[in-house]
Structure 1
Amino acid sequence: MNALLKGSIGLTMLASSTVLAAAEELSLAHFVAPSHVVTASVVEPLAEGVKADSNGDLTIQVYPGGELGAGPMEQYVRAVQGVADITWGLAGYTSSQFPKSMIVEMPGAVPEGVTGYDMLWNAFDIHLKSEFPGTHPLALWISEPNVFIMKDHDVRSPDDLKGLRIRVSGSVSGALVEALGATPVQMPAGEMYNALQTGLIDGIVTGSSAINDFKLDEVANSYTVGAPLGHIMFYLVMNQGRYDGLSAEHKAILDKHTGRTLSQKGEEGWNAAAERTMESVRADSGNTVIDLTEEEIVPFKEVADRVREKLIADMGAQDVLDAMVAKN
């Protein structure tokens, strides 16, 4: 074999090994079923986008349903520890870590015409970044407005909540539920069904998309819409070291499909799922759906405003809220 041919073969083998070495597979873990709204709204657009733009050299392997760890409250630390490269979770499950970020969950904090994801990214660099140690956030967004999901209790006024046990996702909704006269019970979403079915709780405060995601329509029968109950904040984060270790090309591809771009897909996906879900709930004659009138909303709003103003004042975080709504 002549030297020229040997050299050509050597270069070909080197090029092949370089391509193989450049290929990256990222793991993405979450704790819900593949049918959950997070799949179509966030996971699939991200995975499909990076794969297409990298010609298959950057891929994402998804581990749903707690395959890499079942505890929903440990999602953030799993990314930090590298159990998964990317994890999805709810800020409220570890509320003490995200006090400023969770301002977007407060009732009345999101002005009309402003999106939750824009509020979060508006304030991120200056005010919120420190709440995400060890990770590179890929998406930050909020759910559709929360509603009351009840079993055998109709809620038309705060008085209807007196003495009831209401499931909440975090400290913000917990403070509101307590101010409304009920007892907040914090638990992961996966436990809501059994808790409502067995009478451990009387109702739930969460976004209406959860009715379908967690089959709550099988155990709930009364729904109240229109009270200012805030929202739920979500994050999709990546291990910082894993992100830093990507090639410049792969970082650019990932950046293109994340940030506000992916956050918008998440928020719009949650809102669309909520709309479809409520149409189905209303179509079921076995359900009571209470659409509060403007007059009926007033006493809820009075309580909600007091809770929000106190939480902001106690945190000294008016500057954060101003940054979120781009008043600075």
Structure 2
Amino acid sequence: MLNNRIGVVLVTALAPSVWGTTYVVTTELLPPGRPLLAAVLRALPAGLLLVALTRRLPTGDWWWRALVLGTLNIGAFLALLFIAAYRLPGGVAATVGAIQPLVAAGLSAGLLGERLSARTAVAGLAGVAGVSLLVLRANAALDTIGVLAALGGTVVMATGVVLSKRWRSSAPVLATTGWQLVAGGLVLVPLLFLVEGLPPAGLSPANLTGYAYLGLIGAAVAYALWFRGIRLLPATQVSFLGLLSPVVATVIGWLVLHQPLTPAQLAGALLVLGALIAAIPRTTRQPVPAPVRKPVCPAAC
């Protein structure tokens, strides 16, 4: 049982680790200044592919539930992330996003009945501190709209994680992942044309490679692993795994882009990993069965 649980945690952790490569793929392979195009091409084709592979459509309440979850987990989240990225330094946006485990813990206590422990709260604060050491710069400027957008993105993503746990579907996880990707992509399409206009006429092989990676690996595979983890693990623990994204992004920046890695960033990475270990205990306490008492036989029996 313990080995199975550790395996689920490690497989789920692959999703935010993959998302940590998004920055280098975007900067090195995609055309500049088209984040909403990247979001749509990341979500919609991947969702249609999963729906085609599973041949399952939503039924009953899952038509509107898929729309709500797709909007929260993908559509609204990516739109708010886009606003925050344009109005804030990346370090500020990532630090604000690091409060997501604490938001998810509070929502889980109210909607799922999960206990909000002091250990979870301390681990959440340690995660925020670790991410800030990783990515926050002393000269980072704040913008009210940008900060509100980053906070909004954090809240909608945490809400999406908790509602994904609360609303259980009997459909395969690939099918429910496809529904959400399609819904989130469709929500973003009007915003794409309103803000960025028509896609560019010509895309280079590098652009196509980047979009293919973000769609197949960054969306179809990563979101399927993420939603599988939500089914099998407590929602708060899954949210803590999201802290791996800035860690992986920092390491990839050092390895691929030759960005310097400071002692403060190393300390931040260790602090994040410590928060993850504290938030995801290796064992789960099982109730101890009461001893079975044999009936006392009277001497006359």
Q: Same fold by TM-score, threshold 0.5 exceeded?
A: no
TM-score (norm 2): 0.28
Q: Larger relative contact order (C-alpha < 8 A, sep ≥ 6)? A: 2
Q: Identify the structure with the greater helix proportion.
A: 2
Q: Identify the structure with the greater strand proportion.
A: 1
TM-score (norm 1): 0.27
